[in-house]
Amino acid sequence: MAEGHSADNMTLTLKVWRQKNRNTEGRFVTYTLGGVSPDMSFLEMVDILNTQLIERNEEPIAFDHDCREGICGSCAMYINGRPHGPKQVTACQLHMRSFNDGDTITIEPWRAAAFPIIKDLSVDRSAFDRIVAAGGYISINTGNAQDANSTPVPKEAADEAFMAAACIGCGACVAACKNASAMLFVSAKISQLALLPQGQAERRIRAEKMVAQMDEEGFGACSNTGACSAECPKGISMTNIARMNREYYGAKLKSTNV
Amino acid sequence: MATSPKLDAKVPDGALETKWTKYRSTVPLVNPANKRNLEILVVGTGLAGASAASTLAELGYKVKAFCYQDSPRRAHSIAAQGGINAAKNYQNDGDSVYRLFYDTIKGGDYRAREGNVYRLAEVSGSIIDQCVAQGVPFAREYGGLLSNRSFGGTQVQRTFYAAGQTGQQLLLGAYSSLQRQISLGNVQMYTRHEMQDVVVVDGKCRGLIVRNLVTGELERHFGHAVLLCSGGYGNIFYLSTNALGSNVTAAWKAHKKGAFFSNPCYTQIHPTCIPVSGDHQSKLTLMSESLRNDGRIWVPKKQGDDRNANDIAEAERDYYLERRYPAFGNLVPRDIASRAAKERCDAGYGVGKSKMAVYLDYADAILRYGKGEANKNGLHNPSEAQIHDLGIAVVKEKYGNLFDMYQQITGENPYDVPMRIYPAVHYTMGGLWVDYNLMTNVPGLYALGEANFSDHGANRLGASALMQGLADGYFVIPYTIGSYLAGEIRNKALPTDHEAFVQAEKTARERIEKLIAIQGTQTVGSFHKRLGKIMWDKCGMARNAEGLNEAIQEIRALRDEFWTDVRVTGDADELNIELEKAGRVADFLELGELMCIDALNREESCGGHFREEHQTEEGEALRDDENFAYVAAWEHQGEKGWNLHKEELVFENIKIAQRSYK
Ligand SMILES: Cc1cc2nc3c(=O)[nH]c(=O)nc-3n(C[C@H](O)[C@H](O)[C@H](O)COP(=O)(O)OP(=O)(O)OC[C@H]3O[C@@H](n4cnc5c(N)ncnc54)[C@H](O)[C@@H]3O)c2cc1C
Ligand code: FES
């Protein structure tokens, strides 16, 4: 079999992190899995392993997943030392044709103090929800809106806001960062809303509150290595972090709100 | 045919255009002080649930919301690609509330309620206003105004979109409103919680039993009203475009507690999905319908033609939709496009390894856009390569993420070779029966979004589900719930040690224990797969009496086998993914039977329900308005099966006609 080509029927060695719950210690368990087709997605490969485990009366590997098309942000696996594995796509969109027969693949959960492990590969990412709750919105009650076309938004601004808003909240940025910083996630939301005319009224307070909550959750500091953006399955750009820093320091200069 | 006395749709009297306005100004109100004492439970935080929960909280009600994912932002609504309709007429192309209403009724093959659909069209514009105000980054033109595209089954451009990620952007908008209400303390959010049962006391819905999926603990929650916003049940087919966790459990448990289930057989099979590649497959991926705007669908004219697509000359291709339906061409409604693909493949013209696929070709679009760009840029004698590159750039901007997804999954480059597509289960028009207030026949129990049956008749038009979910949550339920809760202000919260709660929790616990105790030999997934195959073969794109009767027998046998031989590993008091799946599959095994019974009962073809016995000579669906212009509402009767109630559909404003897209 030539290198770089996956056989139609691969056999893999899988080293998987198993941990019963938050309070017990975890460890790697090694499994051998045959019959893997290059057309399978990574999660379908894990499905097959799980079926075999159940047939052997062992507990299947717990992992989060739902849409399986790269948009819900549920799936979160650290594959061979990289969040979501070797391609810039989510684990559910990663296909086994990216691997070779005989490969050893290490699968771990996201590692970050702010994302405690629930079981096996499943972690608690509710810190992200709390950061959004702190200010990641425009305060508008239903029914108050004016006609949608009454405020034109330059196409460039709308497109850029969209690109920031494309974040799926999976947490790969945190997992990729040696400091487990959440700057890319937080900055994407702050950018999106700062770029739009609708987001102006709360621009400063939003940046302050979201950053304060981020710190409170125990995410690390940003040292600008760019690993987050490089590993982001949605290609969220580092310019968001620069923009967020501007927003935040701009806000701090003028206020003592938070 | 007379409507069953058990089904009062409560559509207000008066002219169609005035019903909702009049209703809103006469519906009983609840004063703010009382709202603070009224508790509302919302199951599901997709578009319908998140918009309802946040809006009701803004109004002052005490809200608790539940979802099975780890965050409300991950509800299946996030996956919607193509867009959301609204009758804004920003394109000045003749759109109006009436036209959206008309298209939706016609698209639904005249099996939806006029009053509800008109209201949907009326509030559609406000949805776009609300979303833009929340910061939803819809696509825009260079002048800064909102951009629109067209979708199947319509001849105007009324679809708003955010690249191929419209559902994501709308849900994140609703989610941000929800998070705001959570931070204000007006909504209590329970993630990783799954509803197990509804609690009914003296005929009224009074609360829920939910399972904390992390600890396994069963919890009791009281509510003056309960809203089920739990999505659709397409996953009964095992392979579908739905998220893997999508389920019928919430709706089904309500059904077994008395809520009628309507039109379960109306299933939408979407024409443009990536074909099945093998037995390992866990889900099917949709290629947005917006691709039919520019793509052309074809198969070879010769049966069993094994040549590569690019080697088949123009004259040897059959653009069968353009041939059969010249007026709408590739933009016919979904049910028609899907059946036409199946017809070609069944007749031996299918392509690809499995021969169960047709081509969706962008070569013409690339050429057309390329020439347009060359003109715009003043290139007078562009080379073919230049035109090609310019065209590709345009297609990339419009559909890039979809093309990338196709390449990721199939390993083929869709810019060079036509995509292969085949229909897949996508959406379920059936659901819990609701009246004009979105209340089921169980007082205090509501159903919103895909979980109800109300607005799409027998076939949903593209970009209408997002519209309906948000209409229900932002603009309908906040008014209609008042008509019930105004009568509840004297009723204090029921203590959850009430006998009804104790009993419901006990039933839920016993079922979980039973599932774990079976310790059989077969996995939950294997049962789900087998059920899916029965449904797809016998209650899928085409159905007949013989197949449906067989399916009913097979499903019953499979259900018995499940309850004696399923293997659920692990325990009840922990995160247990097999147990979660088992509970959902057990409910699908009951629903499947009802879907077949409903399909058997409906001796006509309409929308997504195609009975082979009822077709025209050209193979088009043949409706029977004389005998079947009704909503089927099924009452669960325990071991005895189901009892059918009919709600007659009266068309006062639209002339019911043979649906034609020719
Ligand atoms: C791939 C795809 C693309 C689509 N594209 C479009 C499009 O372009 N335009 C369009 O109009 N429509 C589209 N649709 C349809 C549309 O997305 C859905 O119909 C709609 O989003 C459903 O919204 P919902 O709020 O009713 O339910 P969902 O978004 O499915 O949400 C269901 C909620 O209920 C919760 N839930 C379910 N069961 C339980 C339980 N037992 N206990 C607790 N919580 C529970 C879930 O956690 C979730 O929060 C698409 C659908 C698919 C599959
Ligand atoms: S499962 Fe939804 S992004 Fe992977």
| SS3 of B191-250 | CCEEEEEEEEECCEEEEEEEEECCCCCEEEEECCEEEECCCCCHHHHCCCCCCCCCCCHH
- Taking the CA atoms of residue B238, residue B241, residue B247 and residue B250 in that order, the dihedral angle to the nearest 10 degrees is -150
Window from A80-94, A109-123, B268-282 with minimum mean pLDDT: B268-282
Residue labelled with tokens 């029914």: A143
Strand-by-strand arrangement of the B296-300 sheet: B267-273, B419-428, B358-361, B296-300, B317-318
Does B439 have pLDDT greater than 50? yes
Strands B566-567 and B522-523: parallel
State pLDDT tens for residues B167-181: 999 999 999 999 999
Q: Residues with Cβ < 8 Å from A39, sequence gap 6 or more? A: A95, A96, A97, B277, B278, B280, B411
- Say whether residue B90 is in contact with chain A using an 8 A CB cutoff: yes
Integer Cα distance of B98 and B117 in angstroms: 10
Window from B49-53, B152-156, B452-456, B563-567 with minimum mean pLDDT: B152-156
Q: What is the pLDDT at residue B82? A: 87
Helices (H), A155-202: 155-165, 172-176, 183-195
Minimum CA–CA partner of B68 in chain A: A66
Mean residue pLDDT across chain B = 96
- Say whether residue B243 is in contact with chain A using an 8 A CB cutoff: yes
Helix, strand, coil percentages, rounded to 5, for chain B? 45, 15, 40
* Paired strand residues for B221: B208
Would you call B411 and A97 a contact, using CB atoms and an 8 Å cutoff?
yes
State pLDDT tens for residues B65-106: 999 999 999 999 999 988 999 999 999 999 999 999 999 999
Considering the four listed CATH numbers 2.30.30.830, 3.30.70.2740, 3.40.50.2020, 3.90.700.10, the one that applies to the domain covering B271-425 is 3.90.700.10
Query: At CB < 8 A and 24+ separation, what contacts does A142-145 make?
Result: A142/B51, A142/B54, A142/B55, A142/B58, A142/B130, A142/B177, A142/B474, A142/B475, A142/B478, A143/B126, A143/B130, A143/B474, A143/B475, A144/B133, A145/B126, A145/B129, A145/B130, A145/B132, A145/B133
Q: What is the pLDDT at residue A258? A: 61
Ligand nearest to the CA of residue B454, numbered in listed order: 1
Integer Cα distance of B38 and B31 in angstroms: 11
Would you call A57 and B569 a contact, using CB atoms and an 8 Å cutoff?
yes
End-to-end CA distance of chain B: 32
Chain B residues in contact with A53 by the CB 8 A cut-off are: 569
The minimum-distance atom of ligand 2 relative to the CA of A233 is: 3
Name the residue facing A69 among B125, B139, B285 (closest C-beta).
Answer: B285
Integer Cα distance of A35 and A47 in angstroms: 12
Calculate how close chain B gets to A169, using CA atoms only, in Å.
8
Phi-psi region of B14 (alpha: psi -120 to 50; beta: other; left: phi over 0): left
State pLDDT tens for residues B288-316: 888 888 999 999 999 999 999 999 999 99
Q: In the structure, which protein residues have their CB atom closer than 6 angstroms to any atom of ligand 1?
A: B 43-49, 66-69, 75-77, 79-84, 166-167, 194-195, 229-232, 241-242, 246-247, 249-250, 286, 426-427, 449-451, 463-466, 469
Residues 417-446 (B) with a CB less than 8 A from some CB of A? none
Would you call B132 and A145 a contact, using CB atoms and an 8 Å cutoff?
yes
How far is ligand 1, taken at its centre, from the CA of residue A182, in Å? 28
Name the residue facing B176 among A40, A54, A137 (closest C-beta).
Answer: A137
- Taking the CA atoms of residue A61, residue A66, residue A71 and residue A74 in that order, the dihedral angle to the nearest 10 degrees is -50
Ligand nearest to the CA of residue A43, numbered in listed order: 2
CATH 3.40.462.20 fits B497-625, yes or no: no
Integer Cα distance of B524 and B356 in angstroms: 28
Calculate how close chain B gets to A88, using CA atoms only, in Å.
11
Name the residue facing A65 among B140, B168, B244 (closest C-beta).
Answer: B244
Residue of A39, A40, A52, A71 to mutate, testing the B interface (most B Cβ within 10 Å of its Cβ):
A71
From A197, A199, A141, A196, select the one nearest B180 (Cα to Cα). A141
Does B577 have pLDDT greater than 70? yes
pLDDT band at B21 (very low <50, low <70, confident <90, very high): very high
How far is ligand 2, taken at its centre, from the CA of residue A170, in Å? 8
For chain A, the domains span 10-119, 125-257
The minimum-distance atom of ligand 1 relative to the CA of B74 is: 49
How far is ligand 2, taken at its centre, from the CA of residue B497, in Å? 39
State pLDDT tens for residues B116-170: 999 999 999 999 999 999 999 999 999 999 999 888 778 899 999 998 899 999 9
The minimum-distance atom of ligand 2 relative to the CA of A93 is: 4
The minimum-distance atom of ligand 1 relative to the CA of B243 is: 53
Does B20 have pLDDT greater than 80? yes
Q: What is the pLDDT at residue A1? A: 34
Residue labelled with tokens 């939003």: A206
Minimum CA–CA partner of B245 in chain A: A66
Q: What is the pLDDT at residue A3? A: 38
3-state secondary structure B403-435: HHHHHHHHCCCCCCCCEEEEEEEEEECCEECCC
- Say whether residue B574 is in contact with chain A using an 8 A CB cutoff: yes
Chain B residues in contact with A4 by the CB 8 A cut-off are: none
How far is ligand 2, taken at its centre, from the CA of residue A65, in Å? 5
Name the residue facing B132 among A134, A139, A198 (closest C-beta).
Answer: A198
Q: How many residues does chain A have?
A: 258
Integer Cα distance of B34 and A45 in angstroms: 54
- Say whether residue B408 is in contact with chain A using an 8 A CB cutoff: yes
Angle at B407 between CA B403 and CA B413, to 5 degrees: 85
Strands B159-160 and B84-85: antiparallel
* Cα–Cα separations (whole angstroms), residue B367 to B255, B393, B602: 53, 11, 46
Calculate how close chain A gets to B55, using CA atoms only, in Å.
6
Q: How crowded is residue B390: how many other Cβ atoms within 10 Å of its Cβ?
A: 22
Does B659 have pLDDT greater than 80? no
pLDDT band at A4 (very low <50, low <70, confident <90, very high): very low
Minimum CA–CA partner of A72 in chain B: B74
Taking the alpha carbons of B564, B567, B572, B578 in that order, is the dihedral positive or negative? negative
Ligand nearest to the CA of residue B242, numbered in listed order: 1
Q: Mean of the pLDDT values across residues B398-422?
A: 91
CATH 3.10.20.30 fits A10-119, yes or no: yes
Would you call B58 and A142 a contact, using CB atoms and an 8 Å cutoff?
yes
Residue labelled with tokens 């052997």: A56
More confident residue, B149 or B60: B60
State pLDDT tens for residues B341-386: 999 999 999 999 889 999 999 999 999 999 999 999 999 899 999 9
Would you call B569 and A58 a contact, using CB atoms and an 8 Å cutoff?
yes
Q: How crowded is residue A113: how many other Cβ atoms within 10 Å of its Cβ?
A: 12
Q: What is the pLDDT at residue A6? A: 63
Name the residue facing B144 among A41, A43, A152 (closest C-beta).
Answer: A152
- Say whether residue B191 is in contact with chain A using an 8 A CB cutoff: yes
Considering the four listed CATH numbers 1.10.10.10, 3.30.70.260, 1.10.1060.10, 2.60.120.380, the one that applies to the domain covering A125-257 is 1.10.1060.10
More confident residue, A6 or B321: B321
Q: How crowded is residue A108: how many other Cβ atoms within 10 Å of its Cβ?
A: 20
Q: What is the pLDDT at residue B134? A: 98
Q: A189 with A132: CB under 8 angstroms?
A: yes
For chain B, the domains span 271-425, 497-625
Q: Which residues of B are catalytic?
A: 334
Tokens matching residue B545: 């009496």
Does A212 have pLDDT greater than 90? yes
* Cα–Cα separations (whole angstroms), residue A150 to B133, B145, B195: 11, 8, 42
Q: How crowded is residue A224: how many other Cβ atoms within 10 Å of its Cβ?
A: 13
State pLDDT tens for residues B385-397: 999 999 999 999 8
Minimum CA–CA partner of A138 in chain B: B134
Name the residue facing A138 among B134, B408, B575 (closest C-beta).
Answer: B134
Does A7 have pLDDT greater than 80? no
The minimum-distance atom of ligand 1 relative to the CA of B68 is: 47
Q: Transcribe B614-647 into DSSP letters.
A: SB-TTS-B---HHHH-EEEEEEE-GGG-EEEEEE
Would you call B405 and A165 a contact, using CB atoms and an 8 Å cutoff?
no
CB pairs under 8 A between A and B: 221
- Say whether residue B128 is in contact with chain A using an 8 A CB cutoff: yes
Would you call B134 and A126 a contact, using CB atoms and an 8 Å cutoff?
no
Q: At B443, which amino acid appears?
A: P
Integer Cα distance of B426 and B536 in angstroms: 12
Calculate how close chain B gets to A174, using CA atoms only, in Å.
17
Q: Mean of the pLDDT values across residues B644-652?
A: 97
Tokens matching residue B103: 């298209």
Q: What is the pLDDT at residue B619? A: 86
SS3 B137: coil
Integer Cα distance of B70 and B431 in angstroms: 25
- Say whether residue B84 is in contact with chain A using an 8 A CB cutoff: no
Q: In the structure, which protein residues have their CB atom closer than 6 angstroms to any atom of ligand 2?
A: A 65-68, 70-75, 90, 92
Q: Mean of the pLDDT values across residues B202-211?
A: 98
Q: What is the pLDDT at residue B152? A: 76
Would you call A40 and B478 a contact, using CB atoms and an 8 Å cutoff?
no
Q: What is the pLDDT at residue A256? A: 62
- Taking the CA atoms of residue B177, residue B182, residue B185 and residue B191 in that order, the dihedral angle to the nearest 10 degrees is 150
How far is ligand 1, taken at its centre, from the CA of residue B324, in Å? 33
From B111, B54, B60, select the one nearest B229 (Cα to Cα). B54
Calculate how close chain A gets to B423, using CA atoms only, in Å.
17
ipTM for the complex?
0.97
How far is ligand 1, taken at its centre, from the CA of residue B283, in Å? 15
Strand-by-strand arrangement of the B193-201 sheet: B193-201, B204-212, B218-222
Minimum CA–CA partner of B72 in chain A: A129
Report, in angstroms and rounded to the nearest whole number, the Rg of chain B calculated over CA atoms.
Answer: 25
* Cα–Cα separations (whole angstroms), residue A119 to A55, A61, B580: 21, 9, 15
Q: What is the pLDDT at residue A257? A: 62
Residue labelled with tokens 């045919």: B1
Phi, psi of A215 (to 5 degrees): -65, -40
Would you call A74 and B69 a contact, using CB atoms and an 8 Å cutoff?
yes
Q: Among A41, A44, A63, A69, name the best residue to mutate to test ligand 2's pocket (greatest count of ligand atoms within 8 A of Cβ).
A: A69
